[in-house]
Chains A and B, each alone.
Chain A
Amino acid sequence: MAFVFLLEQVLNGLLVGAYYLLIALGLSLIFSLGGIVNLSHGAFYAVGAYLAVTLTSRIGFAGAFVASPLLVALLGIVIERLLFRRFYRSDPILSLLLTFGLAMIIEQSLRIIFGAAPLPFSIPTALRGQVFLGSFIYPRYRLIIFGVALAAVIATWFLVYRTAFGRVVRAGVQNPDMVGALGISLQPYMTAIAALGIGLAGLAGVLLAPISGVHPAMGAEILTAAFVVVVIGGLGSFWGVIAAAALVGVVRGLTIYFFPPAGEASMYLLMALVLLLRPRGLLGERIQKFE
């Protein structure tokens, strides 16, 4: 019997992994392709959630689901052109300071506009309910999140690994000067990557708003976990982030099964262990400029 409950926690952990993956994927993209440690990623996630709440009352959840990530991605383009662009080649500490400040400005703006109290938001009636597989229970909405995360991963993978666009971006990661020498300007590519990464944060915000509190500090709440996933997965590794998100979800679920007070600490222990054994993370690549 205990085995069945353990299995249930493992499968649930994979669903939770989708939750971590959605948040970490965009962070990892900007991190590994632009070299920007984006501490404002959580803030964009919060903007996505607030847009979802604001737009749902006007154009419905389906409309908000499409519109908010796009609006957040637009915001990403503006931020990239005005700010990120200046920091690709500078000391990482500068982009760290920049994005930290940006996170504070966005969080306080949300507080000023919407107030500090959480905004009410629920799962749309049509998406509520649970699916039972034998004795296991799965909320329908989590399965939807899982599906969307999967689709986002496949689309991103296709873009980065199967298109001409992706080839330029990947070449730019390894050797930006050579890409430049070949007569290709990397700037529009970086703008697109920033828009994609930040748009993914917005997508995570819309999807998670119905099942977590929508308040100004919600971004700060998830940011650390997202970084842990990226670090465990390994810098520059697409599959590493996916493996890490699944691993963190499962390890956390099992820890809560056996020893709940260590639930959140488990991901940090996992990170320490992975870094001891594989300093570049699970599937981290050797990237010249980060060595």
Chain B
Amino acid sequence: MPLALRRLLADRAALLGLAIIAVMLVLAFAAPYLVPFPEDAFDAKPWQRLEPPSAEHWFGTDGLGRDVFSRTLMGTRVALMIALLVVLGAMLIGIPLGLSAGYFGGWTGDGIMRLTDVFQAVPQLVLALAFAAVMRPSIGSAMAALTLTYWPFFCRIVYGETRRVRSGLFIDALEAQGAGTPRILFLHILPNVAPAIIVRATIGMGVTILVAATLGFLGMGAAPPTPEWGLMVAESRKDLPEGWWQSAFPGLAIFLAVLGFNLFGDALRDVADPRLRRSR
């Protein structure tokens, strides 16, 4: 077993994070078959409004009589889908830009890096809100807004790593042998940059789940009756303090999901970049 993998598996925090992620993935795929009341994810049942947690409704029912447990579970699908697509989209934009900026340098590099400066001149949420507001509020526009504001994080990291790798002798050798630029970029530099990208993507999943839920909470994301965690917390506010379970459980779900990715991402970073290793 490679040393890196062995170190990862010896880290209790990493294992906990990995376990949470694995459970979430299973839940996301199996949710429609697992939830006790599949129709409750969407349909109102006014005769059972605001019932507290019980053997029948583990997490109680919400202001429209829907089973909170079913909705929270279905929310896993929504959250994971948003985060996966956003992170993938951000990678598709950020990685090529970062590679070119780092490899070509000069005007191209400066131009690209100044563009990332502009996108990072304000916190991500501020810009994402502005992007989301321009489009009609929906899950799609929230995802677009998050993608358009997250790519600079990948671009930055790939840029830095590419610069480091580019100074290696093997790149000079490749150039001398007449290897094409795309070949050098994607077959020789990219694999060397991959560990940093994987770390960033894992942490990015957590960040995106959190920011996407925030957009949902602020009414700039998923529209009712989608079982989206942020939106669920927002909808629950009118039934407080009686229906506390309605706010508590979706929030706990967000916490666990983000925690899973953060724990695992941190451990990955320790393994991928020994310079940054948490001292212990």
| A associates with B | no
Give chain B's interface residues, CB within 8 Å of chain A.
none
Give chain A's interface residues, CB within 8 Å of chain B.
none
